[in-house]
Copies of this chain bind each other. A is one copy, B any other.
């Protein structure tokens, strides 16, 4: 079967890989659709970031070269001997997070985690082997394309949950890439009133409006602090930092109300220069989130299934595996109007 295999920075190859036998606790998913994630892009542009290259990953026992892709859906094609819940033919989405599982779920990822499709073979291929616990049935209301969106959406749902955002709160979202857009969607679904999205790209801000932002601010054209000050004179209740750079880190604290919450959702690639007295002066609490709990993943599937999380418009292109580098990784690098690009594997054929 064909797969998109990461060999190194700027070196992703479409090549033939073996269809590996499943283990007793695994199911084999015939992949329908798989999204390209920002972390996939980082691996392409400047990797390895997460991908193990020297030693095998402790949870997957694999290392590069490996098949990428961790946002995917499909049909259960085969089940392992010990599998009790999944059945052949099930329409499923995959939670790609692997942990040691010996802490309570909120704490578990901080004890070490790996991702199917980053630390081990993933979904940019025809068949992917996944532990039974990592597949979730798709409700009838969701398509297989929707199923490829659950993973990044779960990141946004976790961020809103962990921020203790309250019904009626005002929020600001710094960064309108896919996770920023999904955070705005999640905040709206959780009942935020003012949802202010900031970015440097008008194309992305237009998308943010379509997805439910009540205000958009181009930070290159308008002063974020002053503009938010007009919308929320006391400051926003929660600011989500989804850009991962020093200016937005500081702005996100600055626009938050006294004793409010600044939630880091992004992955900072570089250190920043910053004076912690900004917290002392404002009382703002800084928290962060990474991935999601299994509970949040299930809630995300349910909230998408019930129509409360409305993602229409987030998918900006459908591409074929053969063209994943040019139409996927390069398109995401060069075209800011792209949000989520889905790779068609077996598509909606079943």
A residues bordering B, Cβ < 8 Å? 103, 106-107, 109-111, 249, 258-259, 264, 267-268, 270-277, 279-283, 285-290
Contact = CB atoms under 8 A, between A and B. Distances in A.
A227 to B, nearest CB: 21
B259 A110 contact: yes
The 5 A-B residue pairs whose C-beta atoms are closest, nearest first, are A110-B258, A279-B288, A271-B275, A286-B286, A268-B277
Which of A103, A271, A288, A290 has the most chain B CB within a 10 Å cutoff? A288
Nearest to A103: B258
Contacts of A273: 271-273
Contact of A106 (B259, B272, B275): B259
13 contacts: A107-B258, A110-B258, A110-B283, A249-B276, A264-B280, A267-B277, A270-B275, A271-B275, A272-B276, A279-B287, A280-B289, A283-B288, A285-B287
Contacts of A287: 279, 285-286
Contact of A274 (B111, B274, B277, B281): B274
Contacts of A111: 258
Contacts of A281: 110, 290
A280 B259 contact: no
A273 B272 CA distance: 6
A245 to B, nearest CB: 10
Nearest to A269: B277
